[in-house]
Structure 1
Amino acid sequence: MGYTFRFEPVFERFDQLLEGAWLTIQLSGSAMLVGLLVSILFALLKTSGPRPLAWLVNAYVELIRNTPFLVQIFFIFFGLPALGMRLTPNSAALLALIINFGAYGTEIIRAGIESIAKGQIEAGFALGLKRLQIFRYIILKPAMRAIYPALTSQFIYLMLTSSVVSAISADDLTAIGNNIQSATFAAFEVYLVITLIYLFLSIGFSSLFKLVERVAFNYPLSR
């Protein structure tokens, strides 16, 4: 094996990789925040909304969950301009991630909502609580405790999936890594470092989410 490892040109541009990692965090975090709002709304429509809207939400969920993310982002970036909707690479990437997270998040939150006993909801009505209060205090809060691990896992999956947005030249860690590789031709070294950065991000966020879970959901379950 005559290959000579060349990490020097990679570490010389390590600040660019850190900037790419930060851009990946920003992109994934923004997509999760907006996607979570979409998920809550669509989960409500699917569980208690009018039947036609519930059908539309179900169709959206099935469409997104059963098609490749790469195809989805290509459709948004290359397909929508045919309809007069032109988006920048970063905007197209953010929209695709929101749509993708929204579909998976809808099913996660729906499962959490349906796990709440109907007797608790009926008790809320008996106490004179309004529907919004019942959803906020009786349904959403216990449901979030139940589905929190699934949502955090979905975020980490979303962050790793965001590497695909480099295919449309959106700014993220993988795209910057590709640029460095093109300039240095140190493919093995560049992608090894990128792999380690993604691993560090995944482990770091997993640890952070577990800490938040212990602090935010450290209360006894109601009986």
Structure 2
Amino acid sequence: MGYSFDFSVIFAAWPQLLYGCWLTLVISAKAMAMGFAIGLICVVVRRTGVGPLVWLVKAFIEIIRNTPFPVQAFFIYLGLPTIGIRLSPDTAAVIALGLNGGAYAAEIIRGGVESVQRGQIEAGRALGLNGFQVFRYIILRPALRVSFPALASQFILLMLTSSVVASISATELASIGQQLESTTFRSFEVYLTLTALYLGMSATLTAIFATTERVFFSYPTR
């Protein structure tokens, strides 16, 4: 094999790569917050039982879950300007990721809500709690406790999916890696480094979510 490995280009570009990690985490954090909010709103709307609203929520979830994410990103960034809605690449990336994550979060949270026993809800009403209090104290917290591991996994996947938004010129780790590869032609070194960095970010988020679950959603020991 005649290829000569040279990681000096990686060391030279290390500050840019770390900055790319930071941008990836910022975009992902915004998308996760948006996705969680969308998922929660979808669950609340479906529980209202209002036919047209329930239908819209179901249609949104089915459309997002059954179309490729790159198509969604291109539609938001390149399609919406046709009707006068122009977004920066980074904003379009956050919205695309947030909508995508929200559809999946809605189904995950819905599964957690449906795991709450009917008797607990009736007991809350018997104690004089109103609908909002029943949802907040009796339904939501147990539902999040059940669904949090799946939500955490989905949000980590969302962070990894953020690498796709380089295709709409959003600035994050993958786009910085592509620029570095195009100027140095060191494909092996660049993409091996990107693999390690994404693995490191995934491990970091896993630790953060594990701590969050232990602090906020663990069952009391006594």
2:161, 2:7 → 1: CA distance? 26
Q: How does 1:1-223 map to 2 (within 5 A)?
A: 1-220=1-220
Of the structure 1 ranges 47-56 and 64-73, higher mean CA displacement relative to structure 2 is found in: 47-56
Deviations 1:167-200 (A, max 9, x none): 0110110001111111111111111100000011
Amino acid in structure 1 at the alignment position of 2:110: R
Instruction: Give the 4+ runs in structure 1 shifted more than 4 A.
Output: none
Cα shift at 1:6: 1.3
Of the structure 1 ranges 48-57 and 87-96, higher mean CA displacement relative to structure 2 is found in: 48-57
Cα shift at 1:97: 0.6
Q: TM-score scaled to structure 1, two decimals?
A: 0.96
Cα shift at 1:48: 3.1
Cα shift at 1:208: 2.2
2:11, 2:155 → 1: CA distance? 28
Structure 1 unaligned spans of 5+: none
Cα shift at 1:220: 4.5
Cα shift at 1:38: 1.1
1:93, 1:213 → 2: CA distance? 28
Cα shift at 1:217: 2.2
Of the structure 1 ranges 175-184 and 46-55, higher mean CA displacement relative to structure 2 is found in: 46-55
2:209, 2:102 → 1: CA distance? 20
Structure 2 unaligned spans of 5+: none
Percent identical among aligned pairs is 53
Count of matched residue pairs = 221
Deviations 1:99-140 (A, max 9, x none): 101100110111111111111111111111111111110000
2:166, 2:174 → 1: CA distance? 6
1:208, 1:91 → 2: CA distance? 25
1:104, 1:81 → 2: CA distance? 26
1:76, 1:215 → 2: CA distance? 37
Q: TM-score scaled to structure 2, two decimals?
A: 0.97
**Is the CA contact 1:77–1:92 (under 8 Å) kept in the aligned structure 2?**
yes
**Is the CA contact 1:44–1:110 (under 8 Å) kept in the aligned structure 2?**
no
**Is the CA contact 2:145–2:218 (under 8 Å) kept in the aligned structure 1?**
no
RMSD: 1.2
Amino acid in structure 1 at the alignment position of 2:12: E
Amino acid in structure 2 at the alignment position of 1:9: V
1:164, 1:209 → 2: CA distance? 23
Amino acid in structure 1 at the alignment position of 2:129: L
